[in-house]
Amino acid sequence: SKAPTMAEIRLRLTENEVSTNGRTGAVAWLIEGINIENAQDGLRSSIRQLPEDPTASQRTLMEEKRQKLLSRINKFHETALVMTNGMELEGGAGLHQDDPELCLEEADGSNFPGIEELGEDSILDIGDDADSPAEVAELWISSWGTSDPIMNDVVMPLHQEELEPRKGQANDCLEKLR
């Protein structure tokens, strides 16, 4: 028998959703987090495919994609506060952020500048004083966990709920390889 897809798992979880804190919506929130991670990967890929000297319209398109993704990330984090009963998640352990250097290393060196080569006007300017660009922005999902045992009552049920869609995500990826 074929392994269940993420869509099939999402349907099953949504139909059975009764979160431990009496709220629904955790499944949709977790799926949105996974979708945002995928969108971050896609945006990094689009940036890597830009020519060495992108046109103004190419740069504008990338900036618009970044802003749209950043808006999704901000909304995701607003929902995180609801899902975690207002637990403070900002700036601490447990927040996942892609390492910009590793993201740049994934790229084709001839077509994609390294961090040290980035100019002030670069589309990939990730200076210390700037907010992280959307493609490497912090994204809090329960699987990134927390080291605070007081928060386990809130985080662990979300973590358990996240495992199922992650299995579906893996099944979908494996199916594409077949």
Domain, as residue range, for 35: 6-177
Q: In the predicted model, what is the mean pLDDT of the chain?
A: 74
76, 78, 56, 131: which is closest to 100 by C-alpha?
131
Residue 85, token pair as written in the block: 């009963």
Helices 56-83, 26-48: inter-axial angle, 10-degree rounding: 160
Give me the mean pLDDT over the 140-144 stretch: 64
Domain count, the chain: 1
Tell me whether residue 26 is in a domain: yes
Tell me whether residue 1 is in a domain: no
pLDDT at 25: 83
- pLDDT tens-digit series, residues 24-56: 788 888 899 999 999 999 999 999 999 999 999
Residue 68, token pair as written in the block: 């749209």
pLDDT at 149: 62
Give me the mean pLDDT over the 11-15 stretch: 83
- In the predicted structure, residue 16 carries a pLDDT above the cut 70: yes
Tell me whether residue 77 is in a domain: yes
- DSSP state, 139? B
Higher pLDDT, 103 or 47: 47
Tell me whether residue 152 is in a domain: yes
- In the predicted structure, residue 177 carries a pLDDT above the cut 80: yes
pLDDT at 154: 66
**Assessment of whether the complete model's pTM goes beyond 0.95:** no
- pLDDT tens-digit series, residues 58-95: 999 999 999 999 999 999 988 888 877 776 654 444 44
CA distances from 54 to 108, 112, 117, 121, 164 (A): 16, 11, 15, 11, 41
Tell me whether residue 48 is in a domain: yes
Tell me whether residue 38 is in a domain: yes
For the stretch 1-8, contacts whose Cβ atoms lie closer than 8 Å and that sit 24 or more positions apart, written own/partner, are 2/175, 3/171, 3/174, 3/175, 4/167, 4/168, 4/171, 5/168, 5/171, 5/172, 5/175, 6/31, 6/34, 6/165, 6/168, 6/169, 6/171, 6/172, 7/168, 8/168
